[in-house]
Amino acid sequence: MKNVIAPLVVLTVLILAGTASAQSVSTGISIADGELRSFYLAIGDYYRVPEPKVVHVKKHYRVRDEELPVVFYLASCARVEPEVVIDLRLRQRMSWLNITFHFGLTPEIYYVPVQRVGPPYGKAYGHYKKHAHDYKRVVLADEDVVNLVNLRFISDYHRVAPEVVMDMRSEGGRFVVINEDVRRGKEGHHDEDDDKGKDKRNEGGKGKGKGKGKE
């Protein structure tokens, strides 16, 4: 009997390992890369592209993680394939701002209304304030564009105030990590709301029971 069980156990382990490996290969991300997987999933969901497409752009063109939202945002605004944006960025070495102008767009597409401004957004918002009536004259460095696009993406996708994302960025957080922290925070609030709802229902049930007892 032992001679039969041992091979079966080994076979089961090999099958499970093979399945996990296949899942990793299909997306190019290991199961351990939870924050990256969450970030890529959010990008795909928000910009309406399959997650494998996001991973392909990352792996094939070696685009920085925090620039991926910029690629897909510009592609969406310009109604072109992401590869067109990447070609301008990598092969022609154009700045994000010049790529914006190339597609007939203006820096207005990056503007996110906020109640207050914190670092590292001060310079960009200073330009918007200075050229409030002509956003075509707004000057944005590459990092300004990256910061603004991720600000819009994460705050809009998770439905949190942009100031929350801005504060986390000002503390030096990477957007991959910020996205995961915001996601977990939102899930935590949902769990708390569910617990509160259960408590209220339980209290309500007890109240009715006492009322019936008095009658």
State the amino acid at position 28 in one-letter form. Answer: G
Q: What's the confidence (pLDDT) of residue 33?
A: 83
Q: What's the confidence (pLDDT) of residue 124?
A: 97
- What gap in Å lies between CA 104 and CA 102, rounded to an integer? 5
Q: What's the confidence (pLDDT) of residue 47?
A: 98
- What gap in Å lies between CA 30 and CA 37, rounded to an integer? 8
Q: What's the confidence (pLDDT) of residue 190?
A: 53
- What gap in Å lies between CA 143 and CA 26, rounded to an integer? 31
Phi, psi of 160 (to 5 degrees): -120, 160
The mean pLDDT values, 10 residues at a time, for the chain of 215 residues are 48 43 44 84 98 97 98 98 98 97 97 96 96 91 99 98 98 97 82 49 45 38
How much is the pTM?
0.76
C-alpha dihedral sign at 87, 89, 90, 93 = positive
- What gap in Å lies between CA 175 and CA 152, rounded to an integer? 12
Q: What's the confidence (pLDDT) of residue 187?
A: 78
Please answer whether residues 39 and 175 qualify as being in contact, where contact means their C-beta atoms are separated by less than 8 angstroms.
yes
Q: What's the confidence (pLDDT) of residue 214?
A: 38
Q: What's the confidence (pLDDT) of residue 197?
A: 47
- Give the CA radius of gyration of the chain: 24
Please answer whether residues 68 and 176 qualify as being in contact, where contact means their C-beta atoms are separated by less than 8 angstroms.
no
- What gap in Å lies between CA 56 and CA 50, rounded to an integer? 10
Q: What's the confidence (pLDDT) of residue 28?
A: 52
- What gap in Å lies between CA 186 and CA 44, rounded to an integer? 19
Q: What's the confidence (pLDDT) of residue 84?
A: 98
Eight-class DSSP state of 125: H
Q: What's the confidence (pLDDT) of residue 3?
A: 55
Q: What's the confidence (pLDDT) of residue 177?
A: 97
- What gap in Å lies between CA 13 and CA 91, rounded to an integer? 46
